[in-house]
Amino acid sequence: MKIDGQLLVWLKGVDLAANTARLTLVGKMGFGDSLAGLRRFDYFRFEIDPGAAGAGDPEETVEALKSVLDRQSTFYNRNKHAYSLSCTWKGGARLEGASRESLRQRWAAEVHNSLENNLVTDFGGKESGRKVIFNGLKVFLAEVLVEDEDASARDSIAAKLQSGLGGTRVSCLNEATLWWIALSAQDREDATALAEKVAVTTRRDAGLLMNPNFQNVEFVAVNEIKRKSHD
């Protein structure tokens, strides 16, 4: 019985790389009237086959996986990072940390709050005092996966996990950066086109988040995000 494991990792504090990217997109690439937010995660996806090593209990395998991830600095540092580990298999599932949907909802609230207050942050994550007016009627979340074409990093991760799990067969399907791009747009089609312009580098002053010469990009989803009403 194979286990599908997805690990999402993010900084607990200010993400200077994401802030710098956003300021570049707004200040130098002309996305000031459409880019409502930018967030960055490290994303790993594993396929684990506990039966290959004679182990049959997925719960035990997931517990062992969590221990291996905690021990190895390859994936996260618990002092600096938060993470979400989601594992599913036929007839079962386990989640460690916040669900991806709850993370989306929290961020949607943050984005809408920033829009309502016209907040723009500086390189340190502090409010810059500069006001931006967004003309779009809706806000969309584009989830974009950027990954190097070279498979050596994925092979290395699989080998480390396999060793830590006592020989249990592991494949690393993804070792990538997941970008969440919040965009003010008229509709989903417009938001999708904007996300591609933001993400894919076509020349020095166009696109920022992936280089088509050595990386692949996958547009996982583009959906409208709405602020949840509070009682």
Predicted pLDDT at 229: 53
Predicted pLDDT at 230: 47
Predicted pLDDT at 23: 93
d(CA 57, CA 140) in angstroms, rounded, equals 40
CB neighbour list of residue 57: distance below 8 Å, 6 or more residues apart: 50
The number of helix segments (H) and strand segments (E) in the chain equals 5, 7
d(CA 93, CA 141) in angstroms, rounded, equals 26
Cα 33 to Cα 129, 133, 223: the distances in Å are 16, 7, 19
- Of 130, 170, 158, which is closest to residue 47 (Cα–Cα)? 170
Predicted pLDDT at 137: 66
144-156 tens-digit pLDDT: 999 999 999 999 9
Average pLDDT, consecutive stretches of 10 residues, N- to C-terminus, the chain (231 residues): 95 95 93 93 95 70 93 90 96 95 94 75 48 65 96 94 90 97 94 96 91 95 78 40
Burial class of residue 153, CB neighbours in 10 A (0-12, 13-18, 19+): middle
Predicted pLDDT at 115: 79
